[in-house]
Amino acid sequence: MKMINLNKRKLIKTSLLVVSLLTSAFSFNTFAHDETQSTNNKSEQLIKTARILVDKKDPYLMIKTVAGKTFKRFADEQQAIRTNPNILKDIVREELMPYINYKYSAFKVIGQHLKKTTDQERKDFVPVFRDYLITSYAQVFTLYDNQPVEFAPAKSFDDKKIVAVYTHVIMQGRDDIDVSFKVRKDRNTNEWKAFDMIAEGVSLLDSKQAELGGIIRQKGLPYVTELLKKKSERDIVFKSKSVTADAG
Q: Does position 166 have pLDDT exceeding 80, yes or no?
A: yes
Q: Taking Cα atoms as reference points, which of 239, 246, 215, 226 lies closest to residue 11?
A: 246
CATH of 2-232, one of 3.20.20.70, 3.10.450.710, 3.30.200.20, 2.60.450.10: 3.10.450.710
Amino acid 95: pLDDT: 93
CA dist 137 → 1, 53, 96, 143, 246 (Å): 24, 23, 10, 10, 10
pLDDT of 180: 87
Percent of the chain with pLDDT over 90: 47
- Residues of the chain above pLDDT 70, percent: 73
**Quick check: 183 and 58 in contact, CB under 8 A?**
no
**132 Cβ contact partners less than 8 Å away, ≥ 6 residues apart:** 228, 229, 231, 232
Q: What is the pLDDT averaged over residues 184-192? A: 94
* Partners of 165 in beta bridges: 181
| pLDDT, average across residues 43-62 | 70
| Whether 247 contacts 139, CB under 8 Å | yes
Cβ atoms of 96 and 214 within 8 Å: the answer is: no
| Res. 194: pLDDT tops 80 | yes
pLDDT band at residue 52 under the 50/70/90 scheme: low
Looking at per-residue pLDDT, the higher value among 29 and 111 belongs to 111
Instruction: Name the pLDDT band for 27 (thresholds 50, 70, 90).
Output: very low
Q: Which of 7-11, 66-70, 73-77, 177-181 has the lowest mean pLDDT?
A: 7-11
Q: Does residue 193 contact residue 89 with C-beta atoms inside 8 Å?
A: no
- Residue 64, pLDDT score: 83
Q: What is the pLDDT of residue 41?
A: 53
The domain locations on the chain are 2-232
Given this model, what pLDDT does residue 6 score? 53
pLDDT range class, residue 201, cuts 50, 70, 90 = confident
